Structure 1
């Protein structure tokens, strides 16, 4: 029997970005994607981790440079706290700091993808759209 996925829960996205202007722009763009809900926009590592602890986040879009703390700190904390009982939150990095060493570090800490703010916003949005589509079909992030 085939399930109707059109009424399934949306992909819940957390924006972790210190630029209020970029938060607003991303929120507007993400709201155009069906089955995506931006649940919060935060500017610091501690705020990001607090939202993620509430277990309402499916995907976090994380900048590396934050108002306080870092995106690497968010990734490291999630990586260190994972065990068999924790639900895994998908994390992608969206940053200007895209050298190979930083990219490798982010991916080794569990980032699903790394997008450069300078020229990969379309790729980020495509990634989120694919994740939302998979989420609606019951696939994990």
Structure 2
């Protein structure tokens, strides 16, 4: 069964490459995308029960992934939010976790772990 996923990524090239990779390598079905914090928050509010995995980049066209994490802190227990960014360090990882991220992955170093996480149905035990 597909993992219904919402992708928050403002880089079109990354989206165009990541979506097919997610579908092929992780059995993910991307149900929507947004480029800004506000558009993401609006979509999540209107579709609260229609996603299982939220993939969030930190730097967006407007707002930030941190604001997105803050906005979905009270999501359902089966819904997971993960950060996939080029800007991951110990401080960012800690801030993301404090805001409710289930896992944090670096785009340049952690893609294999990220896909493994998605393949584990985004189980909490798969978080980094």
TM-score normalised over the length of structure 2: 0.85
After TM superposition, give the deviation of residue 35 of structure 1 in Å.
4.2
Number of matched residues? Answer: 120
Q: Which runs of 4+ in 1 moved over 4 A?
A: none
Please identify the structure whose Cα radius of gyration is greater.
1
For residue 112 of structure 2, what is the aligned residue in structure 1?
122
TM-score normalised over the length of structure 1: 0.78
**1:2-45 alpha-carbon deviations (Å, 9 max, x no partner):** xxxxxx5x210111001000011110101114642111121111
For residue 99 of structure 2, what is the aligned residue in structure 1?
109
**1:40-94 alpha-carbon deviations (Å, 9 max, x no partner):** 1211111111222212111111000001110000011222xx2xxx524310001
Gaps of 5+ in 1: 1-7, 135-141
Gaps of 5+ in 2: 124-128
Residue number among 32, 35, 58 corresponding to 1:43 in the alignment: 35
**C-alpha RMSD of matched pairs (Å):** 1.6
